[in-house]
Amino acid sequence: MLEVTDAREVAVDQAFEPTIVAFFCNWCTYLAADLAGTSRMKYAPNARVIRVMCSGRVDPQFVFDAFARGADGVLIGGCHPGDCHYQEGNYKALRRYQLTKRLLTDLGVEPERFRLEWISAAEADRLRDVMNEMTAQIKALGRADFSVPDEPFDIPELEPEPEIEEAVVS
């Protein structure tokens, strides 16, 4: 019976198709995805695209929420630096990306699961290459397992400082 279970797990892992949540800028990367579709370019269909007005509007909470809801990877696509429709939105996206990537790494998420790419509206071929590359990377990493450990967390009780306690009582 144990051998059958192991064989099933191997079959499931071979059939693994990652889910990628992609936040695409309305003015560049989303239009590149549209151009790739109308040009009938073949690329991995693993991304669930969410159109945002600017990559600078992607809040880190959106990324954490995507992973919490089962995404295996998150991709942010925006205009090239200096070409933002909102002047500095992509610079804001870069700062948020660096912060979020650091936090995700501290939480144990592999850095390859989170990417920021600058893709203009005319770069449908670049979008295809990025999507195929990211899908292959995440397939190699396997499923994202962000489950909570069975062991309870030991949170020590803090003793109030005597000076603060006396000031509050008085």
In a domain, 156, yes or no: no
In a domain, 139, yes or no: yes
Backbone conformation region of residue 82, classed left if phi is above 0, alpha if psi is from -120 to 50, else beta: left
Q: How many domains does the chain contain in total?
A: 1
In a domain, 122, yes or no: yes
In a domain, 168, yes or no: no
Q: Comparing C-alpha atoms, which of 140, 121, 119 is closest to residue 129?
A: 119
CATH number of the domain to which 136 belongs: 3.40.50
In a domain, 164, yes or no: no
In a domain, 166, yes or no: no
pLDDT per residue over 5-16, tens digit each?
444 454 445 689
In a domain, 66, yes or no: yes
In a domain, 67, yes or no: yes
Domain housing 114: 16-147
pLDDT per residue over 117-152, tens digit each?
999 999 999 999 999 999 999 999 999 987 666 666
Look up the pTM and report it.
0.80
